Amino acid sequence: MPTRRTKRGTERTPLGGEYDVLVCGASFAGLAVARELAGARTSSGPARVLVLDRYEVGERQTSACAAPSEWLTVLGAERSIRQTFDSLVIHTPHTAVRFRMPWKFSTFDYPALCEDLDAQNDAGFDVATVTGRVSALGGDVVTVQTDRGEVTAPLVVDALGWRRVLGGSGYQPPDAPLSRGLEVHPSGSSGEIEMWIDRAVVPAGYGWSFPAGDEIRVGVGSFDPRFHVKKPTVDLAERLDREVVRYQGNWIPHRLRAAAEDDVFFVGDSAGHCLPLSAEGIRPAFYFGIALGRELRRVLEGRSSRDTALRRYGSFSARHSWHFETLLKGQRLLPRVPPRLLSVALRAMESERFTGWAFDHYLKMAHPSFAAEPGRPLARPAEHALAA
């Protein structure tokens, strides 16, 4: 198990103060927001931005940590890349199909990526557990309660994950639109990213093996939150002759939620920014985090108001709902497809022409060109960029 670096005992001094922006959560989404606010100024001077998390930056990995390689490059996090792939192997009970991807996909080191993103902001950071909001709705500022005291800001971001701590109503598994995922991290090596769509592994969901340099991330995800995945994860690891060590798991949202509510901005898992079917949440967290950071910057610089930013960002997120709904339909359909028919369909999709079309459309749902800095030439136009 990793060594916990969070503050304890006498180090947990009272926390308080007023800030211009408070970002609750220091993983992919929260760090993407803070990155966009670097150098921001208000009429009275440099913007005061504070990031809070219950763990130190990069301390607690909660996913298989893989993303399109171009996203890691454009974010200046190439150092974190562990291994890069240009194909995906999918196993079913009746066949194995290799899809050649038109773009590269990389596994990465979570602490290194978080450290690289954190180095690109000028926000303050402190360790505290956010427990809720205490201010009345409609005020000029939002007061957030932590286990170390109250912190206040007019612009508050909930990037705390699927619990949506600062929202009016949270989710309670298993009676919620959440998938369940668990993986182990044995030592080893491989040259293939692999997935198993096999009801013998999990009735509704899939298994995976993601190599990352000197370790293999083997896991199982279930679309049904009532189906426990520890035994399937152990079974898959043993089938692959991998040691069952270093567990990590999490709940995975598979439904988009309102990204602006009650004077608070939500991003990442707290807004349901995780693509159904593939359960890919890192790329959407970057994408929507950058969009939100740009909106907050407009407010800080006096070019917009908080109410306008809430409306614009909320609408921006909602405009992507058809992507999420389409993938959710696929997630619901997949377990119903007879295994032999699924094998035939996957073999038919194996052609380079179809694969290129499908993967390119999938990448466009949150394309890395969106992360390009102002004035930097884009690899291709960002289809969903917010108006300047």
What domains appear along the chain, each with residue ranges and CATH number?
Answer: 9-61+111-173+254-336 (3.50.50.60), 79-109+181-252 (3.30.9.10)
Partners of residue 217 on adjacent β-strands: 210
Total residue count of the chain as it appears in this document: 388
Q: What confidence score (pLDDT) does residue 373 get?
A: 61
pLDDT band at 135 (very low <50, low <70, confident <90, very high): confident
Cβ-contact 94, 200 below 8 angstroms: no
Instruction: Report the half-sphere exposure of 19 (CA within 13 A, side-chain side).
Output: 23
pLDDT band at 10 (very low <50, low <70, confident <90, very high): low
Q: What confidence score (pLDDT) does residue 345 get?
A: 94
Q: What confidence score (pLDDT) does residue 302 get?
A: 96
Mean pLDDT of 163-180: 87
pLDDT band at 6 (very low <50, low <70, confident <90, very high): low
Mean pLDDT of 312-341: 96
Phi and psi, residue 146, nearest 5°: -125, 175
> For residue 161, is pLDDT > 90?
yes
Q: What confidence score (pLDDT) does residue 13 get?
A: 85
Using CA atoms, how far apart are residues 121 and 46, in angstroms rounded to an integer? 13
Cβ-contact 28, 63 below 8 angstroms: no
Mean pLDDT of 332-360: 94
Dig out the tokens for 23 from the structure: 């970002």
Q: What confidence score (pLDDT) does residue 53 get?
A: 97
> For residue 127, is pLDDT > 60?
yes
Q: What confidence score (pLDDT) does residue 8 get?
A: 57
Nearest to 53 by CA among 1, 124, 103: 124
Using CA atoms, how far apart are residues 144 and 138, in angstroms rounded to an integer? 14
Q: What confidence score (pLDDT) does residue 139 get?
A: 81
Q: What confidence score (pLDDT) does residue 60 get?
A: 86
> Each residue of 300-310: pLDDT tens digit?
999 999 999 99
C-alpha distance from residue 320 to each of 283, 316, 385 (Å): 14, 7, 12
- Element (DSSP H or E) covering residue 286: helix 282-300
Compute the mean pLDDT over every residue in the chain, rounded to the nearest whole number: 91
> Each residue of 200-214: pLDDT tens digit?
999 999 999 999 999
Mean pLDDT of 150-161: 97
Q: What confidence score (pLDDT) does residue 379 get?
A: 34
> Each residue of 25-64: pLDDT tens digit?
999 999 999 999 999 999 999 999 999 999 999 998 877 8
Using CA atoms, how far apart are residues 144 and 153, in angstroms rounded to an integer? 8
Dig out the tokens for 363 from the structure: 């990448």
Find tokens 């509510």 and name the residue.
261
pLDDT band at 378 (very low <50, low <70, confident <90, very high): very low
Which range (87-96, 171-180, 202-211, 378-387) has the least confidence? Answer: 378-387
Higher pLDDT, 378 or 229: 229
Query: In this prediction, what percent of the chain has a pLDDT beyond 90?
Result: 86
Using CA atoms, how far apart are residues 111 and 335, in angstroms rounded to an integer? 35
